[in-house]
Amino acid sequence: MTAEERRRARQGWLLSAPALALLLAGASGPLLIVVVYAFLEPGEYSGVEWKFSLEAWFRVLFERDIFDGTVRLADAHLSIFWRSVKLSLLTTLLTFVFGLPTAWFIATRPARTRMLWLFLITVPFWTNLLIRTFAIMEVLRNEGILNGALMRLGLISSPIQILYTDVAVLIGMTYVYLPLMALPLYAAIERFDMRMAEAAYDLYASRWQVLRKVVLPIVRPGVVAGSILVFVPSLGAYVTPRVLGGGKNMMIGNFIELQFGAGRNWPLGAALSLILLAMVACALTIYVRAAARAGADG
Protein backbone atom coordinates (compact mmCIF):
# COMPACT_ATOMS: atom_id res chain seq x y z
CA MET A 1 0.00 0.00 0.00
CA THR A 2 1.42 3.34 -1.04
CA ALA A 3 1.59 6.43 1.15
CA GLU A 4 -1.29 8.03 -0.78
CA GLU A 5 -3.47 4.96 -0.27
CA ARG A 6 -2.68 4.92 3.46
CA ARG A 7 -3.56 8.61 3.71
CA ARG A 8 -6.91 8.04 2.00
CA ALA A 9 -7.63 5.06 4.27
CA ARG A 10 -6.93 7.19 7.35
CA GLN A 11 -9.18 9.94 6.03
CA GLY A 12 -11.94 7.41 5.43
CA TRP A 13 -11.69 6.08 8.99
CA LEU A 14 -11.61 9.62 10.43
CA LEU A 15 -14.71 10.63 8.45
CA SER A 16 -16.63 7.55 9.57
CA ALA A 17 -15.39 7.69 13.20
CA PRO A 18 -18.33 9.80 14.56
CA ALA A 19 -20.93 7.49 13.00
CA LEU A 20 -19.07 4.38 14.18
CA ALA A 21 -18.79 5.79 17.72
CA LEU A 22 -22.51 6.58 17.77
CA LEU A 23 -23.42 3.11 16.51
CA LEU A 24 -21.09 1.47 19.02
CA ALA A 25 -22.52 3.47 21.92
CA GLY A 26 -26.09 2.84 20.81
CA ALA A 27 -25.52 -0.90 20.39
CA SER A 28 -23.18 -1.72 23.27
CA GLY A 29 -24.36 0.85 25.85
CA PRO A 30 -27.82 -0.62 26.54
CA LEU A 31 -26.45 -4.15 26.38
CA LEU A 32 -23.76 -3.28 28.93
CA ILE A 33 -26.45 -1.90 31.26
CA VAL A 34 -28.43 -5.15 30.96
CA VAL A 35 -25.28 -7.20 31.70
CA VAL A 36 -24.57 -5.15 34.83
CA TYR A 37 -28.17 -5.35 36.07
CA ALA A 38 -28.13 -9.14 35.75
CA PHE A 39 -25.52 -9.32 38.54
CA LEU A 40 -27.21 -6.98 41.01
CA GLU A 41 -29.95 -7.34 43.62
CA PRO A 42 -33.52 -6.21 42.85
CA GLY A 43 -34.72 -3.00 44.42
CA GLU A 44 -37.53 -2.98 46.96
CA TYR A 45 -40.09 -1.39 44.64
CA SER A 46 -38.30 -1.76 41.24
CA GLY A 47 -34.90 -0.85 39.94
CA VAL A 48 -31.77 -2.39 41.40
CA GLU A 49 -29.58 -2.21 44.48
CA TRP A 50 -25.91 -1.86 43.73
CA LYS A 51 -24.87 -5.06 45.47
CA PHE A 52 -23.31 -7.96 43.56
CA SER A 53 -25.56 -11.02 43.45
CA LEU A 54 -26.09 -14.17 41.40
CA GLU A 55 -29.64 -14.58 42.67
CA ALA A 56 -31.16 -13.55 39.33
CA TRP A 57 -29.30 -16.31 37.50
CA PHE A 58 -30.28 -18.79 40.19
CA ARG A 59 -33.96 -17.83 39.88
CA VAL A 60 -33.95 -18.40 36.13
CA LEU A 61 -34.13 -22.16 36.69
CA PHE A 62 -34.79 -22.57 40.43
CA GLU A 63 -37.04 -21.18 43.14
CA ARG A 64 -37.08 -21.27 46.93
CA ASP A 65 -40.10 -22.19 49.00
CA ILE A 66 -41.22 -19.14 50.99
CA PHE A 67 -41.90 -21.26 54.10
CA ASP A 68 -39.04 -23.72 54.50
CA GLY A 69 -36.52 -22.39 51.96
CA THR A 70 -36.26 -25.64 50.01
CA VAL A 71 -35.03 -25.33 46.43
CA ARG A 72 -36.89 -26.79 43.46
CA LEU A 73 -37.04 -26.30 39.72
CA ALA A 74 -38.96 -23.26 38.56
CA ASP A 75 -41.55 -25.18 36.56
CA ALA A 76 -43.30 -22.01 35.37
CA HIS A 77 -40.06 -20.62 33.94
CA LEU A 78 -39.17 -23.88 32.24
CA SER A 79 -42.64 -24.15 30.71
CA ILE A 80 -42.27 -20.64 29.28
CA PHE A 81 -38.87 -21.52 27.80
CA TRP A 82 -40.26 -24.73 26.31
CA ARG A 83 -43.34 -22.98 24.92
CA SER A 84 -41.17 -20.30 23.30
CA VAL A 85 -38.83 -22.77 21.62
CA LYS A 86 -41.68 -25.10 20.62
CA LEU A 87 -43.84 -22.39 19.08
CA SER A 88 -40.83 -20.84 17.33
CA LEU A 89 -39.85 -24.17 15.77
CA LEU A 90 -43.44 -24.93 14.76
CA THR A 91 -43.79 -21.45 13.28
CA THR A 92 -40.61 -22.00 11.27
CA LEU A 93 -41.91 -25.37 10.05
CA LEU A 94 -45.35 -24.02 9.08
CA THR A 95 -43.94 -20.99 7.29
CA PHE A 96 -41.70 -23.36 5.32
CA VAL A 97 -44.64 -25.63 4.44
CA PHE A 98 -46.69 -22.67 3.18
CA GLY A 99 -43.77 -20.58 1.94
CA LEU A 100 -42.17 -23.15 -0.37
CA PRO A 101 -45.24 -23.61 -2.65
CA THR A 102 -45.79 -19.84 -2.59
CA ALA A 103 -42.20 -19.09 -3.59
CA TRP A 104 -42.27 -21.82 -6.26
CA PHE A 105 -45.48 -20.41 -7.71
CA ILE A 106 -44.05 -16.89 -7.91
CA ALA A 107 -40.71 -18.03 -9.35
CA THR A 108 -42.44 -19.97 -12.14
CA ARG A 109 -44.71 -17.08 -13.22
CA PRO A 110 -43.91 -15.08 -16.37
CA ALA A 111 -41.39 -12.32 -15.76
CA ARG A 112 -43.93 -9.58 -16.49
CA THR A 113 -46.25 -10.70 -13.65
CA ARG A 114 -43.62 -11.85 -11.16
CA MET A 115 -43.15 -8.39 -9.67
CA LEU A 116 -46.88 -8.13 -9.03
CA TRP A 117 -46.88 -11.32 -6.98
CA LEU A 118 -43.82 -10.17 -5.01
CA PHE A 119 -45.58 -6.87 -4.38
CA LEU A 120 -48.57 -8.73 -2.93
CA ILE A 121 -46.24 -10.70 -0.63
CA THR A 122 -44.77 -7.48 0.78
CA VAL A 123 -48.11 -5.66 1.26
CA PRO A 124 -48.58 -6.98 4.87
CA PHE A 125 -45.31 -5.27 5.88
CA TRP A 126 -46.97 -1.93 5.16
CA THR A 127 -49.42 -2.50 8.02
CA ASN A 128 -48.53 -2.21 11.68
CA LEU A 129 -47.91 -5.55 13.43
CA LEU A 130 -50.47 -4.78 16.13
CA ILE A 131 -53.18 -4.12 13.52
CA ARG A 132 -52.38 -7.37 11.72
CA THR A 133 -52.53 -9.25 15.01
CA PHE A 134 -55.93 -7.77 15.85
CA ALA A 135 -57.11 -8.79 12.37
CA ILE A 136 -56.17 -12.40 13.11
CA MET A 137 -57.91 -12.06 16.47
CA GLU A 138 -61.15 -11.15 14.66
CA VAL A 139 -60.80 -14.29 12.55
CA LEU A 140 -60.15 -16.66 15.46
CA ARG A 141 -62.46 -15.39 18.22
CA ASN A 142 -65.59 -17.37 19.15
CA GLU A 143 -67.85 -15.05 17.15
CA GLY A 144 -65.25 -14.54 14.43
CA ILE A 145 -65.07 -15.41 10.77
CA LEU A 146 -63.67 -18.94 11.19
CA ASN A 147 -66.18 -20.18 13.77
CA GLY A 148 -69.01 -18.43 11.95
CA ALA A 149 -68.15 -20.15 8.67
CA LEU A 150 -67.83 -23.59 10.29
CA MET A 151 -71.17 -23.19 12.04
CA ARG A 152 -72.93 -22.07 8.86
CA LEU A 153 -71.54 -25.11 7.07
CA GLY A 154 -72.87 -27.34 9.84
CA LEU A 155 -69.44 -28.71 10.71
CA ILE A 156 -69.68 -27.61 14.35
CA SER A 157 -72.63 -26.88 16.63
CA SER A 158 -70.88 -24.46 18.98
CA PRO A 159 -67.82 -22.20 18.61
CA ILE A 160 -64.38 -23.75 19.03
CA GLN A 161 -62.20 -22.01 21.61
CA ILE A 162 -59.13 -21.11 19.58
CA LEU A 163 -58.34 -17.64 20.88
CA TYR A 164 -56.08 -17.40 23.95
CA THR A 165 -54.44 -20.76 23.24
CA ASP A 166 -51.07 -21.85 21.90
CA VAL A 167 -52.80 -22.69 18.61
CA ALA A 168 -53.93 -19.08 18.22
CA VAL A 169 -50.39 -17.83 18.90
CA LEU A 170 -49.00 -20.31 16.38
CA ILE A 171 -51.49 -19.26 13.69
CA GLY A 172 -50.79 -15.59 14.34
CA MET A 173 -47.00 -15.93 14.19
CA THR A 174 -47.22 -18.07 11.05
CA TYR A 175 -49.28 -15.36 9.36
CA VAL A 176 -46.99 -12.56 10.54
CA TYR A 177 -43.67 -14.19 9.60
CA LEU A 178 -44.67 -16.06 6.43
CA PRO A 179 -43.22 -13.37 4.08
CA LEU A 180 -39.86 -13.67 5.85
CA MET A 181 -39.73 -17.31 4.71
CA ALA A 182 -41.27 -16.89 1.26
CA LEU A 183 -38.91 -14.16 0.03
CA PRO A 184 -35.58 -15.98 0.70
CA LEU A 185 -37.07 -19.14 -0.79
CA TYR A 186 -38.14 -17.20 -3.87
CA ALA A 187 -34.61 -15.78 -4.27
CA ALA A 188 -33.17 -19.31 -4.14
CA ILE A 189 -35.77 -20.89 -6.43
CA GLU A 190 -35.43 -18.13 -9.00
CA ARG A 191 -31.83 -19.23 -9.60
CA PHE A 192 -32.83 -22.89 -9.85
CA ASP A 193 -32.24 -24.44 -13.28
CA MET A 194 -35.55 -26.07 -14.18
CA ARG A 195 -33.75 -28.34 -16.66
CA MET A 196 -32.45 -30.32 -13.68
CA ALA A 197 -36.01 -31.13 -12.60
CA GLU A 198 -36.87 -32.11 -16.18
CA ALA A 199 -33.83 -34.40 -16.26
CA ALA A 200 -34.95 -36.04 -13.02
CA TYR A 201 -38.43 -36.63 -14.47
CA ASP A 202 -36.82 -38.14 -17.58
CA LEU A 203 -35.03 -40.59 -15.29
CA TYR A 204 -38.42 -41.67 -13.87
CA ALA A 205 -38.09 -39.84 -10.57
CA SER A 206 -41.35 -39.16 -8.74
CA ARG A 207 -42.37 -35.66 -7.72
CA TRP A 208 -41.41 -36.39 -4.13
CA GLN A 209 -37.97 -37.63 -5.22
CA VAL A 210 -37.44 -34.52 -7.37
CA LEU A 211 -38.36 -32.30 -4.43
CA ARG A 212 -36.27 -34.18 -1.90
CA LYS A 213 -33.17 -35.01 -3.96
CA VAL A 214 -33.00 -32.21 -6.52
CA VAL A 215 -34.89 -29.09 -5.46
CA LEU A 216 -34.31 -28.93 -1.70
CA PRO A 217 -30.53 -29.53 -1.78
CA ILE A 218 -30.10 -26.71 -4.30
CA VAL A 219 -32.38 -24.20 -2.57
CA ARG A 220 -31.01 -25.09 0.88
CA PRO A 221 -29.38 -21.65 1.41
CA GLY A 222 -32.81 -20.04 1.00
CA VAL A 223 -34.34 -22.55 3.42
CA VAL A 224 -31.67 -21.84 6.04
CA ALA A 225 -31.89 -18.07 5.61
CA GLY A 226 -35.69 -18.10 5.81
CA SER A 227 -35.64 -20.36 8.86
CA ILE A 228 -33.33 -17.99 10.73
CA LEU A 229 -35.35 -14.94 9.70
CA VAL A 230 -38.48 -16.61 11.11
CA PHE A 231 -37.06 -18.40 14.16
CA VAL A 232 -35.17 -15.45 15.64
CA PRO A 233 -38.08 -12.95 15.81
CA SER A 234 -40.50 -15.73 16.77
CA LEU A 235 -38.36 -16.59 19.78
CA GLY A 236 -38.55 -13.04 21.11
CA ALA A 237 -42.10 -12.29 19.94
CA TYR A 238 -44.10 -10.05 22.27
CA VAL A 239 -47.13 -8.52 20.54
CA THR A 240 -48.63 -11.66 18.99
CA PRO A 241 -48.43 -13.86 22.15
CA ARG A 242 -49.70 -10.94 24.25
CA VAL A 243 -52.79 -10.33 22.09
CA LEU A 244 -53.64 -13.85 20.89
CA GLY A 245 -52.43 -15.63 24.03
CA GLY A 246 -54.36 -13.30 26.32
CA GLY A 247 -51.53 -13.03 28.83
CA LYS A 248 -51.96 -16.67 29.89
CA ASN A 249 -49.67 -18.28 27.30
CA MET A 250 -46.54 -16.20 27.74
CA MET A 251 -43.35 -16.51 25.77
CA ILE A 252 -39.88 -15.30 26.73
CA GLY A 253 -40.51 -11.77 25.47
CA ASN A 254 -43.66 -11.42 27.57
CA PHE A 255 -41.89 -12.91 30.60
CA ILE A 256 -39.06 -10.39 30.31
CA GLU A 257 -41.53 -7.50 30.07
CA LEU A 258 -43.33 -8.82 33.14
CA GLN A 259 -40.13 -8.72 35.21
CA PHE A 260 -39.37 -5.12 34.23
CA GLY A 261 -43.02 -4.15 34.82
CA ALA A 262 -45.38 -5.72 37.33
CA GLY A 263 -42.77 -8.19 38.60
CA ARG A 264 -40.36 -5.40 39.61
CA ASN A 265 -37.40 -7.72 39.36
CA TRP A 266 -35.04 -6.01 36.96
CA PRO A 267 -32.04 -8.34 37.57
CA LEU A 268 -34.15 -11.40 36.66
CA GLY A 269 -35.46 -9.60 33.57
CA ALA A 270 -31.88 -8.72 32.59
CA ALA A 271 -30.73 -12.33 33.09
CA LEU A 272 -33.61 -13.60 30.96
CA SER A 273 -32.74 -11.03 28.28
CA LEU A 274 -29.16 -12.29 28.15
CA ILE A 275 -30.36 -15.88 27.88
CA LEU A 276 -32.61 -14.87 24.98
CA LEU A 277 -29.64 -13.11 23.39
CA ALA A 278 -27.52 -16.26 23.78
CA MET A 279 -30.24 -18.39 22.15
CA VAL A 280 -30.43 -15.99 19.21
CA ALA A 281 -26.63 -15.98 18.92
CA CYS A 282 -26.63 -19.80 18.79
CA ALA A 283 -29.22 -19.74 16.00
CA LEU A 284 -27.19 -17.19 14.04
CA THR A 285 -24.01 -19.26 14.53
CA ILE A 286 -25.78 -22.29 13.07
CA TYR A 287 -26.88 -20.17 10.11
CA VAL A 288 -23.38 -18.80 9.46
CA ARG A 289 -21.86 -22.29 9.54
CA ALA A 290 -24.56 -23.67 7.25
CA ALA A 291 -24.07 -20.77 4.83
CA ALA A 292 -20.29 -21.27 4.86
CA ARG A 293 -20.73 -25.00 4.23
CA ALA A 294 -23.14 -24.30 1.38
CA GLY A 295 -20.64 -21.88 -0.13
CA ALA A 296 -17.83 -24.43 0.16
CA ASP A 297 -20.03 -27.00 -1.61
CA GLY A 298 -20.70 -24.55 -4.42
Residues 192-220: tens digit of each pLDDT: 888 888 888 888 888 888 888 888 888 88
Residues 86/165, Cβ–Cβ less than 8 Å: no
The predicted structure's pLDDT at residue 57: 94
Ranges in the chain, pLDDT < 70: 1, 291, 294-298
Looking at residue 100, its pLDDT comes to: 93
**Do the Cβ atoms of 180 and 230 come closer than 8 Å?**
yes
What pLDDT is stored for residue 292 in this prediction?
73
For residue 72, the surrounding DSSP H or E stretch is strand 71-73
Q: What was the pLDDT predicted at 272?
A: 94
Residue type for 99, please? Answer: G
pLDDT at residue 295, rounded to an integer: 61
Task: Please give the domain boundaries of the chain with CATH numbers for all domains.
Answer: 76-262+273-296 (1.10.3720.10)
- Give the pLDDT confidence score for residue 287 in this predicted structure: 77
For position 240, what pLDDT does the model report?
Answer: 92
Q: What does the buried/exposed string (b/e) look like for 136-158 if buried means 16 or more CB atoms within 10 Å of the residue's CB? A: bbebbbeebebbeeeeeeeeeee
| Residue 191 DSSP class | T
Beta bridge partners of 64: 71
> What is the value of pTM for the model shown?
0.86
